[in-house]
Structure 1
């Protein structure tokens, strides 16, 4: 089981399958901001940058999303997706308020399929049940 540090102090266990460079990216379904299904992983004919964050309601995660939005505008044939446990309504509000137009957001709130399949589900600590911060390039 992999671990991460919460605020450089508390060790947090991550549950789910730990992925390594070269592993096939699991295909999972999450919920888009408009409540439709969004597929993450697998071979989709383009590069995917999947950014897992605990919540867009935190300052660091919001700053990360804003920066990826700027950088995504410079990339061709690359899909950037931010994944968190935030509800789709909150994700839509964040994107509208912050002018996020160059990336997609995906909520993993229903089944936590992404967090479990990609090994980023926080199993303990103050943010247990949320995704840990991670970036996957597929």
Structure 2
């Protein structure tokens, strides 16, 4: 998989786990990746450049905290202007589509990292012990710079929604200001 292994970043049910891939930090250029849309077509992250993107990372939409996290970001979409929210998990694409339909979630785009773990390895969130993604949130601005990065210390805990929304709103404000200045 990858030679980069990190410990001491997060726990799963109180037990330390190993994350695969490098840590992504504020100021870094956002790594590109390809994941699968609900219809099984590949989506390349770089094709979404030019907009602010919130990447909400969950182990599985079928668990209570992941469900709550995805619903919360779905509600936040209206606060984010033109920013988009991507929820990435290793759930199969058709399971993601079913969950979104049942939950009435239509403002968040779900992407499956099941096939290649390309996202998880690029953003350092693959839990080696379980082949799941650790809970995290990244905000990437229109210029593909990471403006917010949170690796949640316990997989069963929710991320800091307010910090992510504020970062996305700031990135959107900067994008609009740059557009007016051009």
Partner of 2:135: 133
Instruction: Give 1:49's aligned residue.
Output: 54
Q: Which has the larger displacement, 37-46 or 91-100? A: 37-46
Pairing partner for 1:17 from 5, 18, 22: 22
Give the CA deviation at 1:40.
2.4
Gaps of 5+ in 2: 1-5, 141-182
Relative contact order, higher structure (CA 8 A, sep 6+) = 1
- Return 5+ residue gaps in structure 1 as ranges: none
* TM-score, normalising length: structure 2: 0.70
CA RMSD of aligned residues (A): 1.4
CA deviations over 1:35-87 (Å, ceiling 9, x no partner): 11122258711111001100001011011111110111232110100000000
Equivalent runs, 1:1-138 vs 2, <5 Å: 1-2=6-7, 3-7=9-13, 9-40=14-45, 44-124=49-129, 128-138=130-140
Note the alpha carbon deviations across 1:63-122, whole angstroms, 9 max, x for none. Answer: 111111011123211010000000001000011011111110000011000000000000
Instruction: Describe the SS at the equivalent of 2:17.
Output: strand
Flag as ranges the 4+ runs of structure 1 deviating above 4 A.
none
Cα separation, 2, equivalents of 1:73 and 1:55: 24
The alpha-carbon distance between structure 1 residues 78 and 35, as it changes in their structure 2 partners (threshold 3 A), is same
Distance (Å, rounded) in 2 between the aligned partners of 1:42 and 1:21: 21
The structure carrying a bigger strand percent of its residues is 1
- Partners of 2:31 and 2:47 lie apart in 1 by 6
Give the structure with higher Rg (CA): 2
Whichever structure has more helix as a proportion of its residues is 2
How many residue pairs were aligned? 134
The separation in 1 between residues aligned to 2:76 and 2:139, in whole angstroms, is: 14
